[in-house]
Amino acid sequence: MAVLYLAVAVSLAVVAAVCRLLWLLSKVGAKSQKRRPGEKLNTLVVLGSGGHTSEMITLLSHMDSKNYYPITYVVADTDQHSVTKVKLLRNDAKTSRVVTIPRSREVHMSWGLTVLMTIKALITCIVKVPTLAPDLILVNGPGTCIPVILAAWFWKFFGLVQCRIVFVESFCRVKSLSMSGKIAYLLSDTFIVQWPMLLERYPRAKYVGKLC
């Protein structure tokens, strides 16, 4: 049985590699489409709970809504407060939409159940991300963001989604990254930290000072 599973995994890997190669070959000689000045970015924002949402609200307040439109808020299906709080402060109820996904992890949940819930959330995101077609995915650390990042990276690999993943590490992470940050550091296009000490351990990160 283990040999069968291994054969299936290898077959899937080969199919994925071939699909990727065919896509790359189709792009040879093609002109890249540059975004025109002033063109709006379809933005996907992942909200967490508590401090993560508060930091994201502060971050969004510094962004010109004329350039980032429409905004899609992604929240866990058990989060009843984040979207209401953001919409009240940003007053964008008419120009934004809300998408829910299964929560990856609840407080005190075992790691085994966390893995199963994350897989469930990942499958949901793989279905939803290409339909949302974001130009920018903005996240700042809640566990909910990991399935979104993985799904976006999956579709980017096959060239079916063209977007930038921007991860902003929480202000409270001074000397080490959060668990979400350690994963996002490997997959994000831009990884932003708010403390210079983190650059010593994570040189690919960008330090821009306090944002939140």
Judging by DSSP bridges, how do beta strands 68-76 and 96-101 pair with one another? parallel
Residue-level pLDDT at 83: 73
161 pLDDT above the threshold of 50: yes
- Residue-wise pLDDT tens digits, 1-37: 445 444 544 554 565 566 665 655 555 454 445 666 6
Using alpha carbons, select from 99, 146, 151 the residue that is nearest to residue 123: 151
109 and 117 Cβ atoms separated by less than 8 Å: yes
Mean pLDDT value across residues 60-80: 87
Band the pLDDT of 63: cuts 50, 70, 90. confident
Q: What is the structure's pLDDT at 7?
A: 53
Q: Which of 161, 158, 162 is closest to 23 using CA atoms?
A: 158
Question: Does the N-terminal peptide bond of residue 70 adopt cis geometry, omega within 30 degrees of 0?
Answer: yes
Say if residue 100's pLDDT is above 50: yes
Contact 198, 170 (CB under 8 A): no
pLDDT at 8: 46
Name the E strands within the chain.
41-46, 68-76, 96-101, 136-139, 164-168, 190-193, 206-207
DSSP bridge partners of 115: none
Could you give the percent of the chain with pLDDT greater than 90? 41
User: 126, 179, 120: which is closest to 157 by C-alpha?
Assistant: 126
Mean pLDDT of the chain: 81
Average pLDDT over residues 99-113: 76
Give pLDDT tens digits for 126-157: 999 999 999 999 999 888 899 999 999 989 88
Q: Say if CB 170 and CB 154 are below 8 A apart.
A: no
> Exposure of 198 by Cβ count < 10 A (0-12 exposed, 13-18 middle, 19+ buried)?
buried
